[in-house]
Amino acid sequence: MHNPRKNSFLEDESPQSADLDLFDPDPVVEDDLWFLPGPDHAVLQAHDLPGPRADQTPLVDVDVWMAAEATLARPLGDLALRVGTLTARLQAGPVGWRHRLALTEAADLSWLAGDRVPRDRLALWLTFRLAGDHEDAQALGRAGWAARRLQGGLAPQDDLAAFLGRQSEETGLEDQIADWQDVMGQAADMHPLTRAALGFHLWPIVEVSAGHAMGGAAPLPLMEAAVVAARYAMQGGNAALFLPLALGGAGGLRAGGAAQDRLQRWIAGADHATRAALRLLDEIAEWDARATKVCAGLSGRTPPQLIRLLRDWPLISAPMAEAETGASRAAIQRNLNWMTKAGIIREVTGQGRYRFWTGVM
């Protein structure tokens, strides 16, 4: 028997409705929907996605620093020339000069960072690891860390975590160092002195020292950043080993202002500190020659050993001289007394015990 309903259904069937049966609703045109259709996730852009988004702002605008470097090319060139002069002086002089400069710079940095470690106490700490009853051993440890790092060894660009004396598994350290190195890599075309300035001002932004500086004898953030920058500025086995930054003042380490202001202060501060380092070397060389001449008539090995020790250290004590020279305490005390009467050294404490001597420059 002919079924008109069945034939009508078959005739109306189309490719679009082939999968429909009697119980499927009729297709609805989207224009008639009472709600808006959802987005096509296949074509969503990153800025359309819901939820929080990572900050894409660069840590530091390297192009701005490069523009500042171009503007300050003249003073930067003058600083590079002065650093070259310092390098030549150190290459021609005794190795002890580098030790003397590093110890002096570390002591000045400790005052800037708030630890205020005197040079004589730092010298005693580096020799014997001794601290007085009322002295901060952690502060002495931080200043000692700075002095050792400034004297040489591993460079920060070789292994920054090892240079800092930090463990790579510290929370966030690997990412913080990676952020710092990434920006420094973007500045590869800059002069090393400019890159050092950038690295110093970038340090607190990436928070490499965050959560670490207050534990144990870890260096304070400013001291840590300054030592890294000072070594980073002198690349390629430079005899100067570090760029003086705190000798005679530390105006170059002051933060704040635009990139050009920061770089200008950095150049002026480093230039002032480098001049101070050259003056110190002049004074040491003049004293060395005068002391050697005055002591020429003395017999034995102790006088020239004491002269060398006083040349390499800003202050010495009798126990320190005994440990460094191997001479007897009696010989050391006898020669120190003679040199004091001769006017080439002086005792600085005015005490009967725990006395220190320095060269009369």
Of 70-74, 96-100, 208-212, 311-315, give the lowest mean pLDDT range: 208-212
Higher pLDDT, 203 or 220: 203
β-pair type (357-359, 345-347): antiparallel
Q: What is the pLDDT of residues 84-124, one digit of tens each?
A: 999 999 999 999 999 999 999 999 999 988 898 988 888 88
25 exposure class (CB count in 10 Å sphere: 0-12, 13-18, 19+): exposed
Q: In whole angstroms, give the CA distance from residue 311 to residue 160.
A: 32
Q: How confident is the model at residue 217 (pLDDT cuts 50, 70, 90)?
A: low
Q: With a cut of 70, say whether residue 54 has pLDDT above it.
A: no
Question: 175 or 18: which carries more pLDDT confidence?
Answer: 175
Return mean pLDDT, the chain: 84
Q: Residues 251-300: pLDDT tens digits? A: 899 988 999 999 999 999 999 999 999 999 999 999 999 999 999 999 99
Q: Which pLDDT belongs to residue 57?
A: 55
Kindly indicate the confidence band of residue 134, based on its pLDDT and cuts at 50, 70 and 90: low
- As given in the structure block, the two tokens for residue 284 are 């040491």
358, β-bridge pairs: 346
For residue range 179-188, list pLDDT tens digits in order.
999 999 999 9
Which is higher by pLDDT, 50 or 292?
A: 292
Write out the E strands in the chain.
345-347, 357-359
**pLDDT number for residue 308:** 96
Summarize pLDDT for 144-179 with one digit per residue, the tens. Answer: 999 999 998 888 988 999 999 877 566 678 899 999
Give kind and range of the element (H or E) at residue 4: helix 4-12
Residues 6+ apart with CB under 8 A from 21: none
What CATH class has 295-359?
mainly alpha
How high is the pLDDT of residue 80? 96
Mean pLDDT value of segment 116-139: 78
Average pLDDT score over residue span 135-144: 87
Domain covering 63-282 assigned CATH 1.10.3290 in the classification: yes
Alpha helices, DSSP H, located in 258-352: 259-294, 302-312, 318-325, 329-342
Of residues 309 and 43, more confidence is placed in: 309
Look at residue 102 in the predicted model and tell me its pLDDT. 95
Neighbour count for residue 62 (Cβ, 10 Å): 21
More confident residue, 86 or 250: 86
Residue extents of the structural domains in the chain:
63-282, 295-359
Task: Give pLDDT, residue 290.
Answer: 97
DSSP state of 38: P
- Looking at per-residue confidence, does 141 or 3 come out higher? 141
Q: At CB < 8 A and 24+ separation, what contacts does 183-192 make?
A: 183/58, 183/59, 183/60, 183/62, 186/62, 187/62, 187/65, 187/66, 189/66, 190/65, 190/66, 190/69, 191/69, 191/76, 191/80, 192/232, 192/233, 192/234, 192/235
